[in-house]
Amino acid sequence: MPRFYKPLIAGLGACLSLPLSAEIIISEYSEGKSYNKAIELYNPTSQPINLTNYQLTKYTNGDLNKTATLSLNGTLAPKATFVISHVKADSAIKNKAQLVTSNSVINYNGDDPIALFYNQQLLDIIGTPGKRNNFGKDQTIQRTIGQASQQYQPAQWQFASANNAEVMAKTLGNVAFGTPSQNTISCKTGDVSLISQLQGPGERSPLIPTDKWQSDNHVLVEGIVTQLTPNRYQGFFIQEEVQDEDADPNTSEGIFVFGTPTIAVNIGDKVRVQGLVKEHYNETQLVLKQAQVCSKASQHQDSTRIVELTAETSLQALEPYEGMQVRWHGDAALTVTKNYGFNFKSRRNDMVLTQGAPLYKPTQLFPALSEEAKQLTKANQQNQITIETDHKQQNGVISFYPPFEPNQFYIRIGDTIDQLTGVIKYAYGQYSVIPTQLIADNAFDHSHYPRQVTPPIKQHGNLRIASFNVLNYFNRVEPGATPNPANNQNRGATNLADFTLQQTKIVSALVAMDAGIIGLMEIENNGFTENSAIHSLVTALNQAISNPDDHYQFVKPKSSTYIGNDAITVGILYRPAQVAIVGNPHIVTMPHQQFTVTSAEDKQRDFDKGQRDSLIQTFKTQSGETLSVVVNHFKSKGSMCLEDYLEYALDGKISLDSRGRVTGKPTAPNYLDDLQGSCNELRVSAAYRLGEYLKQHKKSLGDNILVLGDLNAYGQEDPLLTLTDFQANQESRPINTAVQTVLAGKPWQAPQTITTGYGLINLNTKLHGNKTFSYSYEGELGNLDHALASPTLANKVVDIIDWHINSVENSLFEYSRKYSGQLPKSDNLFSASDHDPIIIELQLTPKKSAKTELNQLIEHAWTVYQRVVINDVWHFYPHSLKWSLTKSLLQAMEVQTDDKATQQQVDKVTSDLQQVLDKASTFHPVVYKSGLAAAIEIAGHRLYLANQTQVLWYFPVNAQQKLANHISQAKAIYQNNNSSQQQVNHAAYKLTQALFWFEQQRQLRWRQPWSLTITSNSNWFIFH
């Protein structure tokens, strides 16, 4: 029994003993377009009933709890109706009403149950609280039995389309209850029609008049039950036996029967069904009057056909198979474009498939409202089909794929499914398939976007930078965690087990990224102490890294406890071994929007729509260049801003629910959804603010600027165009900032129209084009996360990737157990977040330039080494200098020959060797005059010997003259009593160098022709 009914049924005994005046029933529920809504009550008794103690209640979106109540008054005459309509309904409906009101109970939608209470005791209900489905969307639902029911029984009601107010008004005030007819169908007699005759070759049944949506007469068909859908769809599917199929490929052999039979019906049973043929939102249905089982599945040999669809069968060409069993396999296999999970449109769990590659967001590829974006929107809508189930799925369970789990039997966007079999249904312009067979364990082919445990970088640089949204990393559950400035709210893990798993998965991803700088988004904004979230994350990260040189630190603002006043913020991690901080970080305060709206009830509602401040830090890299990293997290697309509220205004007022959310549909003239989501203008304001800030601080930030983060805007949306290459004369649609903005609590500026973008380069687009993605929403891919570079830096980028470890994964594999039930969890890095990390490879200097410099330095050092170490026969140079030079030269040569040497190692040995060479070049020994005199005597004696007759060797005249000049200069210094110690040192040093040089000038004395003479003492050989 649903939880909702337990407290209600508890008082059912009291209800049964109510006086006769409690016998009012809900006789009609009419839900049309806009405000055309009406509820009809009926008094089936012979006594007037006082309405004072009666209430109508609404359960919005199938909520378990009452969301609105309308108290009634007056008297309802016997056998009379009491119609309640909305004040803004068309006059045709209001003219039939006894009560016209603006009470929100009467502003319901087709998924909002309505209940009738007497003195807080449930009497009657239509719809099921706690179970959201569109049971009454655009329907006029009339009761066929004149008695109340404390549980919704679809079989007690008849359904008709609420096409317009005039049609709806015809049934209001009129009841025609009948007694349910007895089952009179015979399986042996009667005029039986073929299902193909009901379906016909076109979109409408040929049995329904063109001006109507339902046949005038009941028909009788026979078929085999292929699927039961008693919950959401409230019916079952039947299909023609193979031998009774017609030969027309354009007519379907299956049909959906709407209604609950009074007899048990099971899959495989052969049944006869009587009912009216109806076009329900362009799906041909048979509205059940009565049914009869002719034979059980085990009692007949008849079979139905499963249609094998081909790759050429478009997903919008399934009309010939409506209600039939079909199968896709082989080349026709469909692709997952939305992973299994919650669908915010249908409010149910489902999975969406497409033909070919997964679908892309139109505004990822084309500017908003461009013709190309409009065409892609339409094409996407036509190229998808939903796998649905009739019953609500258990948390963490896929009933049609039982082995589902995170390690082996996982599902990723881009997977193809082989052997998918089910019945085709059509509703609200979209086909769906309800599986009739389980999907095989290994049916999902992961080859399109395979799991990769390391980033698939194709070209490496010398500095890696990453950007990562860490999915509300809050350390609230850690003892002593610092509070955040947003009332200490917790958007993250609510227990230690979930937090530990979240931390483990995020750390695994960060370790694998192996980046020198990492920009973070969605980390708790609770400061930078040892009890903060960012400290918690960095501590866990460093514990997972064995080499201390690879450890991280985080950027800490000098004068701020928090960054902005949101519960989440941005952050920057860096490796001190790779980059060094330059100056203090910048906090760029981002604009908020503050405004007031008036509700339909004339109540004022105040709103403050904020966004996260940005963080900038300049670094010095190992190449000596500076790099400024800007980390951002713009306003989300979810909550509405003023521009969005105004699209729903009517006479300056906006219909709001209790939570401040709009109800109804946009009322703005010529309204078009630009597909950019809510608060687009406020994100443009953020882009404008950031662009101006970077321009104003260009001198201090330098030429190498990298803008990172979750901008909550796809690749061709207004905020991205504002930051990059927008030119107003190239676009037909203006781009505007938001109205009523404030900066740091003070009014900021009037709305601006963007005329020129700020010239940053979208790196993904530059290297890979528009078809990139980091996020998936509603079955479409796109980049919410971006890396934008200044033109100077863009030329140094050698690669950029979106590492698809999250966006294509199933959200049930994330850390939280909130909706995953007993599904096993994995501590691997997949589903660490809902956004993919972006990884950028920079080549700040040519890879070989540093080693080329080292090679040249070693060549020069070898020359110095010969002079200082090998040829220092006079011992001018100290042993400490000789040892330093020898050690530095050997270390440099070792790194020179090591192909795996890091940039850091090359830089270190180059610096060490250069320092020793500088010392050697400036070193001069201390020589006294006695030492100078000795040098003069040695040099003079060597010159004397050179002038002696030499048979074999000789010294050229110019060399002798040069040495003689150095001797003369040295003698002059020696003989001068006023010579300084520096002059004496210099003279001795120069004379010694000249003497070494002189020895290298000796040459052989050659004569021709050659002859050999041996002297008499046989000790000399002389050439002649």
pLDDT at res. 175:
86
pLDDT of residue 277: 96
User: Region 621-639: what's the mean pLDDT?
Assistant: 95
Look at residue 874 in the predicted model and tell me its pLDDT: 59
**C-alpha distance from residue 443 to each of 90, 341, 409, 420, 576 (Å):** 53, 19, 9, 9, 47
What is the C-alpha separation between 222 and 220, in angstroms, rounded? 7
Measure CA of the first residue to CA of the last residue in the chain; give whole Å. 128
The DSSP 8-state label assigned to residue 218 in this structure reads: E
**pLDDT band at 267; cut points 50, 70, 90:** very high
Assign 963 to helix, strand or coil.
helix
What pLDDT sits at residue 174? 87
Q: Pull the structure tokens for residue 748.
A: 């900021």
Sign of the torsion formed by the C-alpha atoms of 939, 944, 947 and 950: negative
Please give the residue that has the higher pLDDT: either 315 or 902.
315
More confident residue, 119 or 616: 616
Asked if residues 465 and 789 have their Cβ atoms less than 8 Å apart, the reply is no
Q: Are 263 and 292 in contact (CB under 8 A)?
A: yes
Q: Minimum mean pLDDT among 470-479, 483-492, 954-963: which range? A: 954-963
> Collapsing DSSP states into helix, strand and coil, what is residue 76?
strand
Q: Is 262 helix (H, G, I), strand (E, B) or coil?
A: coil
Between CA 221 and CA 237 the distance in angstroms is: 12
Run of H or E residues at 608: strand 604-609
d(CA 629, CA 620): 11
Number of Cβ within a 10 Å radius of residue 875:
9
pLDDT over threshold 90, residue 468:
yes
User: Of 894 and 251, which is predicted with more confidence?
Assistant: 251
Q: Are 998 and 966 in contact (CB under 8 A)?
A: no
For the record, the structure tokens of 608 come out as 């403050």
Q: What is the pLDDT of residue 3?
A: 36
- List pLDDT tens digits, range 43-74: 988 889 999 989 999 999 888 888 899 999 99
Report which DSSP code applies to 658: T
pLDDT, one tens digit per residue, over 846-891 is 545 557 778 888 888 888 888 888 887 656 778 788 888 888 888 8
Residue 702 neighbours by CB distance under 10 Å: 17
pLDDT band at 281 (very low <50, low <70, confident <90, very high): confident
Beta pairing class for 121-126 and 68-71: unpaired
Asked whether the predicted pLDDT for residue 931 surpasses 80, the reply is: no
CA distance linking residue 468 with residue 829, whole number of Å? 13
pLDDT value for 239:
97
What type of residue is 433?
V
Looking at the predicted structure, is the pLDDT value of residue 791 above 50?
yes
The pLDDT score that the predictor gives to residue 130 is: 84
Q: What is the pLDDT of residue 919?
A: 85
User: Which tokens is 725 given?
Assistant: 């290459």
Q: Between 636 and 393, whose confidence is greater?
A: 636
Residues in the chain: 1024
300 burial (CB, 10 Å; 0-12 / 13-18 / 19+) is middle
The contacts of residue 517 (CB under 8 Å, 6+ apart) are 463, 464, 465, 466, 572, 573, 574, 575, 578, 579, 619, 629
Q: What pLDDT, on a 0 to 100 scale, did the predictor assign at position 1005? A: 67
Residue found by looking up tokens 């009948």 in the block: 178
Q: State yes or no: pLDDT of 1022 exceeds 70.
A: no
- β strands within 436-578, DSSP E: 444-445, 463-473, 517-524, 553-554, 568-574
pLDDT (0 to 100) of residue 850? 59
User: Following CA atoms 266, 267, 271, 275 in sequence, which dihedral angle do they give, to the nearest 10 degrees?
Assistant: 90
* Dist. CA 307–CA 643, nearest whole Å: 49
Q: Give the residue-averaged pLDDT of 432-459.
A: 96
Which pair of tokens denotes residue 860?
């020069």
Among 647-661, 918-932, 935-949, the range of highest mean pLDDT: 647-661
What does the DSSP assignment read for 880-918? HHHHHHHHHHHHHHHHHT-TT--HHHHHHHHHHHHHHHH
Inform me whether the pLDDT recorded for 210 exceeds 60: yes
Q: Which of 492, 537, 496 is nearest to 834 (CA)?
A: 492
Q: What is the pLDDT of residue 381?
A: 94
* Predicted confidence band of residue 508 (pLDDT cuts 50, 70, 90): very high
Mean pLDDT, residues 259-269: 89
Annotate 567-579 with DSSP letters as a single string: SEEEEEEE-TTTE
Confidence of residue 1014 (pLDDT cuts 50, 70, 90): very low
Say what the pLDDT of residue 538 is.
98
Residue that wins the pLDDT comparison between 128 and 456: 456
pLDDT for 952 equals 67
What residues contact residue 549 under an 8 Å CB cut-off, 6+ apart? 575, 577
For the chain, domains (ranges, CATH) are: 25-171 (2.60.40.1260), 195-304 (2.40.50.200), 319-445 (no CATH), 463-842 (3.60.10.10), 850-914 (1.20.1270), 929-1006 (1.20.1270.90)
Question: For the chain, how many helices (H) and strands (E)?
Answer: 21, 49
Per-residue confidence (pLDDT) for residue 592, from 0 to 100: 97
| Each residue's pLDDT tens digit, 329-368 | 999 999 999 999 987 777 778 999 999 999 999 999 999 9
- At 670 the pLDDT is 87
Q: What's the pLDDT score for residue 189?
A: 85
Residue type, position 24, single letter: I
pLDDT at 636: 97
pLDDT of amino acid 731: 63
Beta strand 741-743 with 746-747 is antiparallel
* pLDDT confidence band for 946 (50 / 70 / 90): confident
User: Is the pLDDT score of 2 beyond 70?
Assistant: no
For residue 8, the model assigns a pLDDT of 35
Beta strands in 511-638 (DSSP E): 517-524, 553-554, 568-574, 579-588, 592-598, 604-609, 614-621, 626-633
pLDDT of 997 reads: 86
> What's the confidence (pLDDT) of residue 949?
55
Residue 13 has pLDDT above 60, yes or no: no
Task: Supply the pLDDT for residue 165.
Answer: 86
Read off φ and ψ for residue 247, nearest 5 degrees. -95, 10
Tokens of 973: 């210094």
Cα separation of 428 and 280, whole Å? 9
Give the tokens for residue 365: 């590829």
**What is the three-class DSSP state of 446?**
coil
For the segment 961-1009, what is each residue's pLDDT rounded down to a tens digit?
888 999 999 899 888 888 887 788 788 878 888 888 888 888 876 544 4
Q: What is the pLDDT of residues 64-100, one digit of tens each?
A: 888 899 999 999 999 999 999 999 999 999 999 999 9
Spatial neighbors of 700 by CB under 8 A, at least 6 apart, are 583, 618
